[in-house]
Amino acid sequence: MTGYLSSIWRLRHFWMALVRIDLRKRYRGTVIGIGWSLLQPIAMTAVLCLVFSRIFGQSIREFAPYLLTGLTFWGFITAVVMQGCQSFFQGESYIRQHPAPLAIYPLRATLGAGFHFILGFAIASVFVWCVNGFGNLPALVSLVPTFVLLFVIGWSLAVCMGVANVLFQDSQHLIGIVMQMLFYLTPILYPPKMMLSKSPHFALIFNYNPFAMLLELIRKPLLDGELPSLWAIGASSLFALLVVCAAMLALRCFEKRMIFYL
């Protein structure tokens, strides 16, 4: 394991260069370039805010950062899953030429998605600080391990999806549907309180959905200035452990043979 990670680290210049070029490629030939990464979540939030703040009866002041964090988070998860599916195919020409650890290709997808997540999160933070003032410092510090957790989960998910999709190419279409379902099962657009007031059964969804837990780790410190609940921390860590094990297992079983399926 450490040997594997250190060989990934030795190739850091390679995959970081790939991440940089991915970001550049995305806005090739556009006028405001990387500005789109900033503008897109803002515009999306503005639109949804106008629609849903009425329906959910929320003040924009609270609802905008709530939405923004939710959308940014979900953007990261879907990017990691969907681009993870393509990661080995994308790196195929390198894989066919050079025996490098395969996990660097999902890592490329994860870091690209992570960059956009950080940008979206920064916008949300600035918004919150402007409107509500600087929050509770220890709570904000808790975001650091959260980001590490998120990165590890993202990378592992990307590895799992990449392997699954190479072996069984219907995976990418299947997971698209699953992600769509999860989008509504996770409190991204709607505030959980509102759903709970309609029916207490929704608690089941919010307490056992790992993505809802992760989202709490992000939202609680930033929006409420509170440390996340122990349950959320524990559940998220357990989920991280699970996907890491799954990713390691997938690599262990299929890494060598992957080239035969590409």
Partner 1 sequence: MTLIKLDDVGLKFQVRRAGRISFKDYLLHGLFRRSKKTSFEVQALENINLTVEEGDRLGIIGPNGAGKSTLLKLLAGIYPPTSGRRKVVGKISALFDIALGFETDANGWENIMYRGYLQGETPRSIREKIQPIAEFSELGDFLNMPVRYYSSGMKVRLAFSIATAIAPEILIIDEVLSAGDMAFQTKARERMKSLMSSARAVIVVSHDMKSLELMCDRVLWLDHGKMRPIGPAEEVIKAYTQQNNQGEKRQAA
What one-character-per-residue DSSP string does the chain give? -HHHHHHHHHTHHHHHHHHHHHHHHHTTT-SSTTHHHHHHHHHHHHHHHHHHHHHHT--HHHHHHHHHHHHHHHHHHHHHHHHHHHHHHHTHHHHTT----TTHHHHHHHHHHHHHHHHHHHHHHHHHHHHH-S--HHHHHTHHHHHHHHHHHHHHHHHHHHHHHHH-TTHHHHHHHHHHHHHHHSSSSS-HHHHHHH-TTHHHHHHH-HHHHHHHHHHIIIII--PPPHHHHHHHHHHHHHHHHHHHHHHHHHTTTHHHH-
Residue 177 sits in the site that holds partner 1 (CB under 8 A): no
Residue 83 CA to residue 76 CA, distance in Å, equals 10
Taking the complex as a whole, how short is the minimal distance between the CB of residue 164 and partner 1, in angstroms?
A: 15
Taking the complex as a whole, how short is the minimal distance between the CB of residue 161 and partner 1, in angstroms?
A: 20
- Residue 195 tokens, joined: 């759903």
Residue 259 sits in the site that holds partner 1 (CB under 8 A): yes
**Identity of the residue, 25 or 54, whose beta carbon is nearer to partner 1 in the bound complex:** 25
Candidates 8, 11, 23, 118: give the one binding partner 1 (CB under 8 A).
11
Which one of the spans 12-20, 80-88, 132-140, 181-189 is the region binding partner 1 (CB under 8 A)?
A: 12-20
Residue 23 sits in the site that holds partner 1 (CB under 8 A): no
Q: Which of residues 88-127 bind partner 1 (CB under 8 A)?
A: 93-100
**Identity of the residue, 166 or 215, whose beta carbon is nearer to partner 1 in the bound complex:** 166
**Identity of the residue, 20 or 193, whose beta carbon is nearer to partner 1 in the bound complex:** 20
Site string for partner 1, 25-54 (x = CB under 8 A): x--x--------------------------
- Residue 78 tokens, joined: 């879907």
Which one of the spans 49-57, 117-125, 218-226, 251-259 is the region binding partner 1 (CB under 8 A)?
A: 251-259
Candidates 5, 10, 47, 208: give the one binding partner 1 (CB under 8 A).
10
**Identity of the residue, 17 or 131, whose beta carbon is nearer to partner 1 in the bound complex:** 17
**Identity of the residue, 96 or 201, whose beta carbon is nearer to partner 1 in the bound complex:** 96
Query: What is the contact surface with partner 1 in residues (CB under 8 A)?
Result: 10-11, 13-14, 17-18, 21, 24-25, 28, 93-100, 256-257, 259-261
